[in-house]
Amino acid sequence: KAGVTQTPRYLIKTRGQQVTLSCSPISGHRSVSWYQQTPGQGLQFLFEYFSETQRNKGNFPGRFSGRQFSNSRSEMNVSTLELGDSALYLCASRRSSGGVTKNIQYFGAGTRLSVL
């Protein structure tokens, strides 16, 4: 079974631009969550999507948005990029129903975003 796939692996953007990151969950997983990892703030929760609906949102400005498609694939968008948005963005999927593993989140390899 394929794992969580994130594309692209690396991105370089300039301030003011916008960026879209993609995440394909493990087959059969309906929940996708996004996290931001920076040296200063550590790992922080951005949002969770389930069945195309945002279920939870972390404490991030409205420039950060996301969506989920009917095949459970998810995209994350950051508009008007700032230098502080440089980070590793991690996507995680989980089954979310049935069985003892429903609460386990499986992570992708991340997208490294550099804002110049």
Partner 1 sequence: AQTVTQSQPEMSVQEAETVTLSCTYDTSESDYYLFWYKQPPSRQMILVIRQEAYKQQNATENRFSVNFQKAAKSFSLKISDSQLGDAAMYFCAYNGAGNMLTFGGGTRLMVKP
The stretch near partner 1 (CB under 8 A) out of 11-19, 30-38, 61-69, 70-78 is: 30-38
- The footprint of partner 1 on this chain (CB under 8 A) covers a number of residues equal to 24
Shortest reach from residue 41's CB to partner 1, in Å: 10
Shortest reach from residue 40's CB to partner 1, in Å: 11
Q: Under the criterion CB under 8 A, does residue 31 sit at the interface with partner 1?
A: yes
Q: Count CB atoms within 10 A of the CB of residue 25.
A: 27
Q: Which member of 28, 51, 55, 116 binds partner 1 (CB under 8 A)?
A: 55
Separation between Cα atoms, residue 21 and residue 8, nearest integer Å: 7
Q: Under the criterion CB under 8 A, does residue 104 sit at the interface with partner 1?
A: yes
| Ordered DSSP codes for 14-74 | -TT--EEEEEEPPTT--EEEEEEEETTTEEEEEEEEETTEEEEE-S--TTEEEEE-TTS-E
- In terms of CB distance, is 65 or 96 closer to partner 1? 96
Q: Under the criterion CB under 8 A, does residue 45 sit at the interface with partner 1?
A: yes
Separation between Cα atoms, residue 26 and residue 28, nearest integer Å: 6
